[in-house]
């Protein structure tokens, strides 16, 4: 019977796209441009490489790189072979990368030469279980795939993956300091791809621009683009001028952006005169709250092209969708919604006893259906907790109106979403407390016009210490990475705690959030 259920994998999706769309443009970055056939040829060489290294379905691959075509070819080869792929965020700190490479049992790590060369070598030295280190571009003592790959014997593109194999093992920040690996099998990524094609307002000619890291949301969206034979243009990092120039030159029709970057495009008036962005037919936004006022400005400038997603790593990309037609400013408050449930999942707002709440009453967003992960890697305790009562508990609190639109009002997990990054207060607190002068620290997110939420810290210094805000900000940046570094720090004599002795974040947040709801994801 199990053979009757074969196919329907990410591997079969990619193999089919390569065959179907052979001579159509597939993917390009600043230096490389491939048709689907050429992309398939490179994928075949990666399969040859992975085979020669003895990789099997139990193996793990990670890539630490900016947005480049070869990265996507390596990810694709892993999917076709049924190998687990674990993304590494380019902005995370070395300790985080080392933990993930070890915990995810990564066999092969590929790093981009230049900016990630030293990090790659440091990880190889720190993680004994990491067997192979390769690079894109010259790195001392490391094999360069850009020169070696063309000489590797290509293997036929035959899908060996199974719907239940883990396709993406993505790590999500942990409130307890340890991040957890989210097991998304092939059937989840395929269900996501089909739902995205069905539920978003895609243009007929898909020319998709990915400027945010393809290790995360912008990358997993390439699967549905390829399903439809679309073209993906990768850019390394976001800069308004480069972005608008690429939209103009490539006649980009679809893109995914976090709100901060949309604000930058709205504010780039002179650049918008210089480059034609009228080809943009769908701007997908998500991963952070977006101000309704700025959304109105965006609609005035770019037209009715906005589509919002709400999802999380545990149920990727499309728990709810706010389609173009849903951005209806004649309905009071509607622009503050994150849309309606994607038809392929069941979404309910539940109270702490797992009862559904009434229309207009707050409840936790809980999800069931084909989009839900298999659980947390090697963490049965955390899996049991997040799946209690037979639902995926998102940790986000929302209300639903009579028309089925959801409005996120708070986060049970205290997570801060700043410029599209998920930041857990505990991660920043732990980094601050690692500084020799810090006695205690508390971290919250506060409203911020640019970032959606900004990281704010309250710090009690040890007796006699007089360290500066700048020193502590630099310390956190060094320990965790720039997005975690607090935008502001208040020095205080004590930090409010609850009756249980836990940090009272609610009390700390109150002065900043009075009369406001925390934003839409």
pLDDT tens string 275-284: 999 999 999 9
What is the tens place of the pLDDT at every residue in 153-163? 999 999 999 99
Architecture of domain 1-185: 3-Layer(aba) Sandwich (3.40)
Q: For residue 172, give both structure tokens.
A: 């999500």
The per-residue pLDDT for 138 is 94
The per-residue pLDDT for 520 is 38
Residue 209 scores a pLDDT above 70 = yes
The per-residue pLDDT for 513 is 83
Distances in Å between the Cα of 227 and the Cα atoms of 61, 210, 382, 452, 485 are: 23, 16, 33, 33, 39
The per-residue pLDDT for 502 is 66
The per-residue pLDDT for 2 is 61
| Mean pLDDT along residues 312-325 | 96
Residue 288 scores a pLDDT above 70 = no
**Residue 349 and residue 356: Cα distance in Å, rounded?**
6
Give, in words, the CATH class of 419-513. alpha beta
The per-residue pLDDT for 226 is 98
What is the tens place of the pLDDT at every residue in 55-87? 999 999 999 999 999 999 999 999 999 999 999
| Mean pLDDT along residues 30-40 | 97
What is the tens place of the pLDDT at every residue in 464-519? 898 999 999 999 999 899 999 999 999 999 888 765 556 788 889 889 887 665 54
**Residue 503 and residue 495: Cα distance in Å, rounded?**
7
**Residue 449 and residue 291: Cα distance in Å, rounded?**
8
What is the tens place of the pLDDT at every residue in 122-159? 999 999 999 999 999 999 999 999 999 999 999 999 99
The per-residue pLDDT for 215 is 85
Average pLDDT value over all residues in the chain: 92
Residue in 447, 398, 414 with CA at minimum distance from that of residue 293: 447
Q: For residue 476, give both structure tokens.
A: 């956190």
What is the tens place of the pLDDT at every residue in 438-449? 888 899 999 998
pLDDT band at 175 (very low <50, low <70, confident <90, very high): very low
What is the tens place of the pLDDT at every residue in 449-458? 888 899 999 9
Residue 356 scores a pLDDT above 90 = yes
Residue intervals of the chain classified under CATH 3.30.300.30 are 419-513
Residue intervals of the chain classified under CATH 3.40.50.980 are 1-185
Q: How many CA atoms lie within 13 A of 391 on its CB side?
A: 20
The per-residue pLDDT for 170 is 96
Angle at 141 between CA 137 and CA 142, to 5 degrees: 45
Beta partners for residue 133, in sequence order: 109
The predicted model scores a pTM of 0.85
């Amino acid at each position: 019977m199990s053979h009757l259920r074969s196919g329907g994998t990410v591997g079969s999706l990619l193999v089919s796209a390569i065959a179907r769309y052979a001579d159509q443009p597939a993917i390009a970055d600043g230096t490389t441009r491939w048709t689907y056939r050429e992309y398939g040829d490179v994928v075949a060489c990666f399969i040859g490489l992975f085979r020669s290294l003895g990789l099997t379905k139990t193996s793990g691959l990670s890539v630490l790189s900016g947005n480049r075509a070869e990265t996507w070819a390596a990810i694709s080869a892993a999917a076709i072979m049924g190998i687990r792929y674990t993304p590494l965020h380019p902005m995370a700190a070395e300790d985080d990368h080392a933990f993930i490479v070890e915990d995810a049992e990564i066999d092969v790590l590929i790093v981009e030469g230049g900016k990630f060369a030293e990090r790659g070598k440091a990880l190889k030295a720190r993680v004994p279980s990491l067997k192979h280190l390769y690079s894109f571009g010259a790195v001392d003592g490391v094999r360069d795939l850009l020169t070696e790959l063309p000489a590797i014997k290509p293997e036929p593109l035959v899908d060996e993956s199974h719907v239940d194999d883990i396709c993406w093992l993505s790590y999500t920040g942990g409130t307890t300091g340890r991040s957890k690996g989210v097991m998304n099998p092939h059937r989840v990524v395929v269900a996501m791809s089909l739902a995205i094609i069905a539920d978003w307002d895609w243009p007929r000619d898909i020319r998709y621009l990915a400027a945010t890291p393809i290790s995360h949301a912008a990358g997993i969206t390439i699967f549905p683009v390829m399903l439809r034979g679309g073209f993906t243009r990768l850019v390394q990092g976001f800069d308004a001028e480069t972005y608008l120039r690429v939209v103009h030159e490539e006649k980009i029709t679809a893109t995914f952006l976090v709100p901060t970057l949309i604000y930058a495009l709205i504010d780039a008036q002179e650049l918008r005169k210089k480059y034609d962005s009228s080809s943009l037919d769908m701007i997908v936004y998500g991963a952070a709250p977006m101000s309704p006022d700025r959304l109105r400005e965006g609609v005035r400038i770019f037209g009715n092209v906005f589509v919002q997603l709400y999802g999380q790593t545990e149920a990727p990309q499309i728990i709810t969708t706010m389609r173009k037609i849903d951005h209806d400013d004649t309905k009071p408050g509607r622009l503050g919604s994150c849309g309606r449930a994607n038809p392929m999942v069941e979404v309910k707002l539940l109270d702490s006893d797992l009862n559904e709440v009434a229309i207009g009453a707050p409840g936790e967003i809980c999800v069931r259906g084909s989009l839900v992960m298999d659980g947390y890697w090697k963490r049965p305790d955390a899996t049991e907790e997040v799946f209690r009562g037979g639902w995926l508990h998102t940790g986000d609190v929302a209300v639903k109106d009579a028309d089925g639109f959801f409005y996120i009002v708070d986060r049970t997990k205290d997570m801060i979403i700043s410029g599209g990054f998920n930041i857990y207060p505990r991660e920043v607190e732990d980094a601050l407390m690692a500084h020799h002068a810090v006695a205690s620290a508390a971290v919250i997110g506060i409203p911020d016009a640019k970032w959606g939420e900004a990281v704010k810290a309250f710090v009690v210094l040890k007796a006699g210490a007089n360290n500066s805000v700048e020193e502590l900000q630099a310390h956190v940046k060094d320990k965790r990475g720039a997005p975690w570094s607090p935008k502001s720090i208040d020095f205080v004599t004590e930090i409010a705690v609850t009756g249980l002795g836990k940090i009272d974040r609610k009390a700390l947040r109150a002065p900043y959030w009075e009369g406001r709801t925390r934003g839409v994801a």
